[in-house]
Amino acid sequence: MRKPPHGCAALPPLPAERIAPLLAALVGKSIAQPVTTPRGPRYHLLDTVREYGQQWLGELGETAAMTERHRDYYRWLARVGNRE
């Protein structure tokens, strides 16, 4: 798969083997909730955590920039995601 545009986070991607333990830790701390879907498990942040993050981005003046990065990533994914 081609490299996506810059992601939403400024951190490097996590190695695949670290993702499951980190998700389990977030669920264990009640920060994220697992949801079963026909396509497999998904995880949702609690609304209070999401709202805090949105407020924090607003205070930093980063809401517009993050929205654009999010949009660019999903546009890229829509273009190349089904080709691979």
> Element (H or E) spanning 51, and its range?
helix 47-60
- Which sign, positive or negative, has the C-alpha torsion 84, 37, 44, 25? negative
Determine the pLDDT at residue 84.
53
User: What pTM was computed for the model?
Assistant: 0.58
From first to last of its 84 residues, the chain has per-residue pLDDT tens of 566 666 555 567 778 899 899 999 999 999 999 999 998 889 998 999 989 999 999 999 999 998 998 888 888 888 887 665
Determine the pLDDT at residue 17.
92
Determine the pLDDT at residue 77.
82
